[in-house]
Amino acid sequence: MVAVMDGSLIAIMIPFFPVEAASRGVSQAAISGVFSCYAVAKMMLSPLVGRLAPKIGISRLYNIGLALAGATTLLFGLLNRIEDTQTFMGAAFAVRLVEAVGSAAIATCGYTIAGSEFGSRVTTAVAVIGSSLTAGLALTPALWGGLYAVGGFGTPFFTLGALMLLTSVALIRLIPDSESADCQQASFAVSLLKFLGAADNWLCLATVFVYSADVYTVEAAFAVYADRVLAVPPTLVGLFFLVSCVVPYARAAEILGMTESGVRTLVKRQRTSGAAAQQPTPATTIDNFTIGAIRRHVYARFANKEFLTVERLLDGLTADGILRPDTSESTLRRILHQMGFRYRSTQRKMYVRKETLDIVCRRIQALRKLNQHRENGHQIVYVDETWFTTRMCHSREWVDNTQAATSATYSRQVPPGDGERFIVVAAGSEEGTIDGSFLGFVSKNRSGDYHGEMNSELFIRWLTSHLLPSLSRPSALVLDNAPYHSVLTEESRCPTSATRKADLINWLTQHDIPVPPGATRPELLLLCQQNKPEPQFVVDNIIREWGHEVVRLPPGHPELNAIEQVWGCMKRHVRSSLRRFTRADLQDRLEEARLLVTSEVWAGAVRRSRSFEDGYWTTDNIQESIDRIIITADDDDDDDDDDDFSFDQESDDDVD
């Protein structure tokens, strides 16, 4: 309804305003200016409204625009009482400009509300809004012409203005105000350049421009021509736009040799298929073990001296089943960047380069520490967290292709969605799971990364109450770089760009660093960064207080954490054994999986993790420790290692 009224703001003056203005001796150029100033103002103000909407509130600005348009429409109905022609036209220009502000808010916020409220049906919602806007433009001129003939100049404006004001009041209760924090906006310049960079967008802009030029040209000139030359009254002028809604289908049917109803059916079918084609695709989920598999795949192709592009790499990863077939090149490029790989651009292709030096050095340090702790007789304890859901299942299962996909006999019936999510944290060594370290709890969120459910306080509580008291001998705990593992101590925190100048000076003074007289804030910040202390983590200090050590793995190296292999075995069992897909069912299956993780499973997982360590000793060319690697006939086959710690050999799923 609001879209129809928005279209009416354009169409309301078509039947009679040009005639009224011409009768006062106003030139055709000035009459056209009243129409064009509205369009130009709306065009220029729409981007500004889009930037202000998140700050004011989408729904609130929508109601404000509707009320403003209604008030200015009422005001326009009073302009015929102005006797002076110049004052009359000046007021017409001013009121139309303010009216354009309200129309810009209605249009911009209307499409935004449609996009946020209708989700996957946004194309249908936008189509309805567009059709309603066209209906207001094409159907209402006949109505406004009739009201003009009955009640004079002000009647159409008073009717439309009052209707818009009443609707604005009603929408205050019908549409709750949107939270501005939910709106994430990119830079306007970046968005505009990205939009203008596509050639098909220019074709759309040209089409809209030609259509708008046709409409506004007809608005300004047709009514005067019909009155002076054809002697057609305003009521019949409005009917011209009503006929224009029907004629295109009839003309298209004549050209195509089809019936008018056939053309309408064809257009409807095309709109429906277009909406279906624009359904969003599910996001690609990449877990830590998949990242490790990607890294090993890249290394193998590096060893073969293959010339790699992202396209070729994606083909290989999908062929090996490491990534889903619908994974895009942009997704793989982002994953590689997060893993520490870099690329260079040549002839529009992205070529994979080696890891950053920082990642390699951190891996070498971790490998040396692990070797040193083993030589000192320390127990290596692998610590990690993972997730399980009540509806998790295998990616591939037996199905009966002779049955319809919706049939109960097509495959094992698994409810849609992920269901409830459980977070599990545990620790273990080659001797088995550490007693009392296994902890599981229900996640509050059913989507997103499970790391968001953990925090430093919860992890430290588990560490000090479950794990550390259960370690009977000196140990080295292997940790990844999750945020809750990496909270810095107050002493090792360094000021940031958000730190005030007085705090910068105070920090330098506390660390006995001379402060140059008259130093500016950037100079002080640089001085702080140059004297940045070595990072000290809260978790590391707690572990050392209990007489143990910490080995931190570099980012993206889950294969060096043996518990990742154990998680894969547990998830495989849970996927195969879930039947009722409820919380109680998942808890029972988790307990079964925990009991199945014996010391033999852990020993196999540690052997496989150490095989990756041996490989890195060679590929990273760590000369000082090559002579320590002992390769036996039993450890040279990855498949044999898999058999050592897998307790479900029939599943064909990859380990998570």
CATH number of the domain enclosing 462: 3.30.420.10
Please check whether residue 256 lies inside any domain of the structure. Answer: no
Report which of 532, 507, 527, 506 is spatially closest to residue 516, judged by C-alpha positions. 527
CB 175 within 8 A of CB 62: yes
Final residue before a domain boundary, out of 144, 176, 208: 176
Terminal alpha carbon distance of the chain = 52
pLDDT value at 13 more than 80: no
Residue after which a domain boundary falls, among 480, 507, 532: 532
Statement to judge: residues 38 and 94 lie in one domain: yes
613 part of a folded domain: yes
Same domain, 473 and 554: yes
The answer to whether residues 550 and 476 touch, using CB atoms and an 8 Å cutoff, is yes
Check whether residue 318 and residue 332 sit in a common domain.
yes
Domain that residue 521 falls in: 495-532
Distance CA 656, CA 653 (A): 9
Question: What's the pLDDT at 653?
Answer: 43
Question: Do 597 and 452 have their domain in common?
Answer: yes
Region 368-372 average pLDDT: 95
Residue 581 corresponds to which tokens in the numbers above?
Answer: 């897909």
The pTM of this model reads 0.46
For residue 296, being part of any structural domain is answered with yes
Q: Are residues 425 and 520 in the same domain?
A: no
When mean pLDDT is compared across 65-74, 218-227, 451-460, 540-549, the lowest value belongs to 218-227
Q: How far apart are CA 149 and CA 155, in angstroms?
A: 9
- 189 is written with which tokens? 């310049």
Q: What angle do CA 382, 386, 390 make, to 5 degrees?
A: 145
Asked whether residue 174 carries a pLDDT value surpassing 80, the answer given is: no
Q: Residue 242: inside a domain, yes or no?
A: no
Within-domain flag for 273: no
Q: Report yes or no on 470 lying in a domain.
A: yes
Based on the fold, state whether residues 107 and 87 are members of the same structural domain.
yes
Return the CATH number at 56: 1.20.1250.20
Q: Do 575 and 567 touch, CB atoms closer than 8 A?
A: no
Residues 472 and 163: their CA atoms lie apart, in Å, by: 79
Residue type, 239: L
* Mean pLDDT computed over 168-190: 57
- Does 391 reside within a domain? yes
Query: How many structural domains does the chain have?
Result: 4
Helix (H) or strand (E) holding 498: none
Most confident of 226-240, 285-299, 309-323: 309-323
Query: What's the one-letter identity of residue 557?
Result: H
- Give the mean pLDDT of 239-253: 54
Q: Percentage of the chain with pLDDT > 70?
A: 64
Q: Which of 129, 154, 176 is the last residue of a domain?
A: 176
CA-based nearest residue to 141, from 13, 6, 4, 1: 13
> Residue 519 is which amino acid?
A
Residues 586 and 526 in one domain: no
195: pLDDT strictly greater than 80: no
Same domain, 505 and 443: no
From CA 567, how far away is CA 593, in angstroms rounded? 9
Q: Is residue 198 part of a domain?
A: no
Residues 332 and 370 grouped into a single domain: no
pLDDT digits over 571-609, tens only? Answer: 999 988 888 889 999 999 999 999 999 999 999 999 999
CA–CA dist 625, 301 (Å, integer): 25
Instruction: Look at 114-123, 366-375, 376-385 and tell me which has the smallest mean pLDDT.
Output: 114-123
Are 431 and 502 found together in one domain? no
Position 32 pLDDT exceeds 70: yes
Residues 517 and 540 in one domain: no
Q: What is the CA radius of gyration of the chain?
A: 35
Query: Do residues 552 and 563 share a domain?
Result: yes
Contact in structure between 106 and 59 (CB atoms under 8 Å) = no
Average pLDDT, the chain: 75
